[in-house]
Amino acid sequence: MNKKELCEKAVKAMQNAYVPYSGFKVGAALVCSDGTVFTGCNIENASFTPTVCAERTAVFKAVSEGRRDFTMIAVCGGKDGKINGMFPPCGVCRQVLAEFCPPDFPVILVTGKNEFRELKLCELLPFSFNPGYMSG
Ligand code: THU
């Protein structure tokens, strides 16, 4: 699974976004060490608070299937599904990634057709509170 293919999977997953309130569609594609990909989209709710982001949908799908061996994630998003530059994951999703992924974990941000920018998780979430602090 190369990075371009992973971006394409994120873009495809974005099409399933359920966004009747914001119209802002997000897709994510998370790869495991054996190449298995878990995708996710954002799913909104009339009560707003239960809304879940695309990145967390992908992570929770994978973890609930027994997978935690993640190697990279691609994320894309835009109003009405139109990708127009970089869309960085929200703070809550960064924190969820920090639970399962190392500081140098690659986060691939789709910026346009066949374009992406790559950041490390530690660049998106420096000084993270991570599981290491809980082990005493
Ligand atoms: N959203 C995501 O799916 N991922 C993020 O990292 C930030 C925001 C979604 C939540 C909501 O459905 C819409 O984008 C607007 O905030």
pLDDT tens for 43-79 read 999 999 999 999 999 999 999 999 999 999 999 999 9
Q: Which of 5, 44, 55, 115 is catalytic?
A: 55
- Best CA proximity match to 89, nearest among 100, 79, 77: 77
Query: Which pLDDT score is estimated for 26?
Result: 98
Query: Which pLDDT score is estimated for 78?
Result: 97
Query: Which pLDDT score is estimated for 46?
Result: 98
The minimum-distance atom of ligand 1 relative to the CA of 57 is: 3
CB 125 within 8 A of CB 98: yes
Q: Tell me the three state secondary structure of residue 100.
A: helix
Q: Which residues contact 98 (CB under 8 A, 6 or more apart)?
A: 121, 125, 128, 129, 130
Query: Given a cut of 90, is residue 136 above it in pLDDT?
Result: no
Residue 17 — very low, low, confident or very high, per pLDDT cuts 50/70/90?
A: very high
Nearest protein CA to atom 7 of ligand 1, as residue: 90
Q: Which two tokens stand for residue 48?
A: 């707003």
CB 42 within 8 A of CB 17: yes
DSSP 46-78: TTSTT-B-HHHHHHHHHHHTT---EEEEEEEEE
Residue 1 — very low, low, confident or very high, per pLDDT cuts 50/70/90?
A: confident
Around Cβ 29, how many Cβ atoms within 10 Å? 29
Mean pLDDT computed over 33-46? 98
Determine the Cα–Cα distance for residues 19 and 2; give it in Å rounded to an integer. Answer: 29
Is 55 a catalytic site residue?
Answer: yes
Average pLDDT taken over every residue of the chain? 97
Query: Given a cut of 90, is residue 106 above it in pLDDT?
Result: yes
Mean pLDDT computed over 106-126? 97
Q: How far is the CA of 19 from the centre of ligand 1 (A)?
A: 9
Contact residues of ligand 1, CB 6 A cut-off? 19, 22, 24, 26, 42, 44, 51, 53-55, 89-90, 93
Strands 70-79 and 115-120 turn out to be unpaired
Query: Given a cut of 80, is residue 87 above it in pLDDT?
Result: yes
